[in-house]
Amino acid sequence: MSEPVRWQGEADRLAAAANADGTPTRWFEELYRAAADGEVTRPWPREEPHPALTGWFGEHSVDGSAQAVVVGCGMGADAEYLAALGLATTGFDISETALRLCRERYPASAVTYRQADLLQLAPDLVGAFDLVVEIYTVQAMSRSVRERAVSGVSSLVAPGGTLLVITFVLGHGADPQEGPPWPLTEAELRSFAGGDLRLSNLTGHGPEQLAEFHRPA
């Protein structure tokens, strides 16, 4: 059997094909399946929680009874971190294969891994979480669905809850059409706020930003 090729090139190819035929989210499952079949290396293979997330927990505490969710949990490192802190954690992803790979990677996991589409959320997910963590998922989704993706993430936050968004922000002069990923503009990052969900902090980490939002109880 031949060596798997690097996943990034296949991601570009599959994303372009999916966007061209108007099915902009189908390529995630296709990419993870190609990885599971050994054709490409594992996509987004991070094994450690994102340092901006662990840094945030260095300065904040969350009630031990909190319900947490990781949006587009990918290979699970951030969801596993939250569960290890004792939070009741759901990790959802559009890709069944990504979730299968998570369960294989963390066989003793306390995380509830669940298939869900951010663009068509099941009613029981809406307003259900005290802590919502979104890392790199919206920026991986085509600009054609950006508004719906942003509003889907915000809708997950329960009264009294917190949303953390960790994302790359589009640099000056960068081509907004070039991707994946398609980094958010600062205005798009701020647009997670709406209704009673308010931006409370925006911190730069090099080209990345961590934005924190709160919904009053």
Ligand X SMILES: C[S@@+](CC[C@H](N)C(=O)[O-])C[C@H]1O[C@@H](n2cnc3c(N)ncnc32)[C@H](O)[C@@H]1O
When asked if residue 40 is in the footprint of ligand X (CB under 6 A), the reply is: no
When asked if residue 11 is in the footprint of ligand X (CB under 6 A), the reply is: no
In the complex, least distance from residue 30 CB atom to ligand X, rounded to whole angstroms: 10
Q: How far apart, in whole angstroms, are the C-alpha atoms of residue 61 and residue 76?
A: 21
CB environment 30-44: b (16+ within 10 A), e (fewer): bbbbbbbeebbebbb
53 backbone dihedrals φ, ψ, rounded to 5°: -70, -45
Q: Smaller CB distance to ligand X: residue 124 or 198?
A: 124
| Identified binder of ligand X from the candidate list 37, 48, 96, 117, rule CB under 6 A | 117
Residue pair 163/154 in contact (Cβ under 8 Å)? The answer is yes
| Identified binder of ligand X from the candidate list 34, 69, 101, 135, rule CB under 6 A | 135
In the complex, least distance from residue 139 CB atom to ligand X, rounded to whole angstroms: 7
Measured torsion, CA atoms of residues 185, 12, 155, 188, in degrees rounded to the nearest 10: 10
When asked if residue 46 is in the footprint of ligand X (CB under 6 A), the reply is: yes
Binding mask 73-112 for ligand X (x = CB under 6 A): xx------------------xxx--x--------------
Q: How far apart, in whole angstroms, are the C-alpha atoms of residue 31 and residue 97?
A: 9
Binding mask 175-214 for ligand X (x = CB under 6 A): ----------------------------------------
When asked if residue 44 is in the footprint of ligand X (CB under 6 A), the reply is: yes
Q: Are strands 129-135 and 157-168 parallel, antiparallel or unpaired?
A: parallel
137 token code pair = 């998922």
The residues that touch ligand X, with contacts defined as CB under 6 A, are: 25, 28, 44, 46, 72-74, 93-95, 98, 117-119, 135-137, 140-141
